[in-house]
Amino acid sequence: MPLYEYSCKTCDNRFELLRPMSLATQSAPCPNCSSTANRALSVFASFSIGSNGMSAPISGQGGCACSSGGTCGCAN
C-alpha cells in the first residue's frame, strides 16, 4: 500500500497514512483533531555520494523538461 501525506486545515497537523490506491483521492480524518484532512503534495530530495566524495543531488538538471528540448505540457 502507498504512503500518502495529509494536511489538516483546522489544526495545521501534517500526517502520513498507509491507504490502498482506491482511497487515494478521499480525505482522511486528522488523528490530532478528527477534522477532515486533505491529501498534500509530498516532496522529497535524493542525494548520493559523488566521485569527489561530496553529496550530490540525484535528479535532472532542474527546471522543466522544455528547457532541455523535452516536453512537459507547460505553456511557454
How is the chain split into domains, by residue range?
A: 3-39
Task: Give the pLDDT score at 60.
Answer: 57
Number of Cβ atoms within 10 Å of the Cβ of 11 = 11
Kindly report the pTM of this predicted structure: 0.57
Buried b (16+ CB within 10 A) or exposed e, 33-50: eeeebebeeeeeeeeeee
Q: Which amino acid is at 6?
A: Y
- Cα(6)–Cα(37) distance, integer angstroms: 6
Point out the least confidently predicted range of 27-31, 39-43, 48-52, 67-71.
Answer: 67-71
CA dihedral 67, 70, 74, 76 (to 10 degrees): 50
**pLDDT tens digits for 17-34?**
999 999 989 999 999 999
Task: Give the pLDDT score at 18.
Answer: 94
